[in-house]
Chain A
């Protein structure tokens, strides 16, 4: 990719935007059904060993490739929206994207990589390094797709590169791939893994060339000294030590709080974040939090948002409308929850009648 000018998006500039979004979907991707005990999902990469796709003598872990849902989400045909990948290692980028999404009308979807020391099988303190390698290798490029008037525009927040050595470091750092290197067909399997990853990366680059933003490179400028600590999730929770989701929760809440203060409702799919932050009578949440089922978090969050907006429109709710965050992962949004996530994102990006109503009637 040719060297070119980079756009700097400052926090102050985003917060000053007159536009708003009240509904954001977050999919943390830890590449398997981790909450139920590391079962294979469509997010699982090739040859990763899971409890329903183990490293057997005949079949070496997952057969098939890792599903890429970002592209499909951004090309549903929505009129406006903000779609992005994120990585908790690049925390300013993730926080920036959360703020950006909540200040851009239409669909809002962020797909964030989340290490899982139990499922990926790496030492507790290696999560951040694996996160970094994922992006540096081209396995998890950081990009956003802004859709305006139905037209998508790609931008990268880190210069995209594909680096085979770093990809191998990323793979070798995870015990879920350890068997691959002990087999006689190691060359064939690693070749497939590299080529499948490269293809996914190439597809993103080619789309970015076809639908480029100007400039193509951008980054978020956030002075973390001026950003207050989040007060949505209490420090006590039951996540495993070294879990990527802990970082994600903190960073997500930091970004949401910048825009919404405490005027927010989190909706959680059944997942590790759900069970580890809501137990019995000592939940970790200091703001309203709703969990209903494994698969329907997109729909639930959409409905909570709609409920508040229609009540406001009808004069039955007198406070400012809360932001609603749909949070899911552990394969719950890739597979069982895909339909609900897709529908919620699509409705948010196309169905403007109610939004217009709310604007007119409540002066938002």
Chain B
């Protein structure tokens, strides 16, 4: 079955063009423009259209690549790592349980310094029930992968190209994330770069790879004599990555006219209280800020490596006193969920009060009501205390914490299978 929306990418794109597509198809188009050699696909909602779209351009003859339907996500990641080892440019995509299933092969991509790019279409994972909608599974673990997060379809398109640039510049695998359904299935207008422009940004270089004329072993047994130094080398090399991401953002900005920063702000100047989050929620907050100009927004565009210095600079420059970290994950048994944790660590030496707020799990809408609640809640706090609370939580059948009216659960469109 041919996926018609990929039509614009069946023909060469010669000039900057505006298209209207969903997030996943936009990613497929961008990846196609980067000329990947191997694409590893295993279906999982809400990621699947990205690889469907790529199969379309391959089968249509618009892209020469090995499109491989693998037997699982662990196989997709194994395949990606091993194919990248030959020097091939590799793309794969996943979400939720698929990301969890990939875990065992994720660290090898880092250890072998392989520039793989991967889309995560963020989705809840199964516990205690299955839910195919949006939460942040990707914050659970990264093993040294780079991660950039996008807010809308335009940013997803740009991220798909920048992820290849970042991966190949840093020689660390790079995932780019958009929120499942909210961005992956949202139809937006967005600008596309000409093919030639994209290829200039991601020139094919010969990387280190398995070479029959220069034999080596990869992934052999090491004793306690060696592993620590190997881990140390990886951690040291990772320290250059943030600066490399800056270079990529600058180069991409020059080519596209869209300049990204690792930590972006909206209406932050002189604000004592800031909301900090990433992904699609930034858009909600931006419109809510129209009625709440006393609250600033800090948006993390880069999640890993964590852009701590940039965050510190924002806090310092604006003398921010309170930060509400709003995130779509939680952490049973921990003091803070993952995003709050990183923010807390980064701002350890600052006298800024930080609270974590867990919202929108499993695709629940995050509305102005929740932001109003968080605004009044965070105003009451002072001092450093690591804690987080749920907002928008159902307290009884018709009462939801922080929300004026009961949630209407009839609005979710069915999302297909799992």
Q: Which residues of A contact B (CB under 8 A)?
A: 262-265, 267, 274-275, 277-281, 283, 285-293, 295-296, 299-304, 306-311, 313-314, 316-317, 319, 322, 339-340, 342-343, 347, 354
Closest approach, in angstroms, between the C-beta of A224 and any C-beta of chain B? 26
B247 at the interface (CB under 8 A from A): no
- Complex contact B217–A286 (CB within 8 A): no
Of B11-19, B220-228, B303-311, B325-333, the one contacting chain A is B220-228
Given A290-B218, A292-B105, A299-B82, are A307 and B211 also a contact pair (CB < 8 Å)?
no
| Residues A303 and B82 in contact, CB atoms below 8 Å apart | yes
7 more CB-based (< 8 A) A-B contacts, given A301-B82, A306-B68, A306-B83? A278-B219, A286-B215, A299-B70, A299-B78, A306-B38, A307-B86, A322-B212
Indicate whether B194 reaches chain A with its CB closer than 8 angstroms: no
Residue B316 CB within 8 A of the other chain: no
A278 and B75 contacting across the interface, CB-CB below 8 Å: no
In whole angstroms, how far apart are the Cα atoms of A274 and B219 in the complex?
9
Number of interface residues of B (CB under 8 A): 41
Interface set, chain B 61-106, CB cutoff 8 A to A: 64-66, 68, 70-72, 74-75, 78-88, 104-105
Please report the C-alpha to C-alpha distance between residue A293 and residue B215 in the assembled complex, in whole angstroms.
20
B residues within 8 Å of A by Cβ?
Answer: 37-38, 64-66, 68, 70-72, 74-75, 78-88, 104-105, 108, 204, 210-213, 215-223, 225-226
- Given A310-B38, A340-B78: A291 and B220 within 8 A (CB)? yes
B108 surroundings in chain A (CB, below 8 A) = 292-293
Given contacts A343-B71, A354-B66, contact A304 B83 (CB under 8 A): yes
Q: 6 A-B pairs, CB-CB below 8 angstroms?
A: A275-B221, A278-B219, A283-B217, A288-B217, A292-B105, A343-B75
In angstroms, how far is the closest chain B Cβ from the Cβ of A329? 16
Known: A296-B78, A299-B71, A354-B66. A304 touches B212 (CB 8 A): no
Chain A nearest CB from B73 CB (Å) reads: 11
Most buried by A among B65, B70, B220: B220
Q: When the two chains form their complex, are residues B204 and A304 in contact, meaning their CB atoms are under 8 A apart?
A: no
Residues of A within 8 A of B70 (CB): 299, 343
Closest Cβ of chain B to A125, distance in Å, is: 27
Tell me whether B38 and A304 are in contact (CB under 8 A).
no
CA distance A340 to B79 in the complex (A): 10
Closest CB in chain A relative to B120 CB, distance in Å: 21
Secondary structure at chain A's binding surface: helix, strand, loop or mixed? mixed
B210 close to A340 (CB less than 8 A)? no
Indicate if the CB atoms of B78 and A293 lie closer than 8 Å.
yes
Cα distance A339–B218 when bound, in Å?
23
Interchain nearest-CB distance for B90 vs A (Å): 8
Most B Cβ at <10 Å: residue of A319, A343, A347: A343
Q: With A299-B71, A303-B82, A316-B204 in contact, is A310–B65 under 8 Å at CB?
A: yes
Hey, which chain A residues are within 8 Å of B88, CB to CB? 307, 310-311
Cβ–Cβ < 8 Å partners of B74 in chain A: 295-296
- Give every chain B residue within 8 A of A299 (Cβ-Cβ): 70-71, 75, 78-79, 82
| Least Cβ–Cβ distance between B154 and chain A, in angstroms | 30
A308, closest chain B residue (CB)? B86
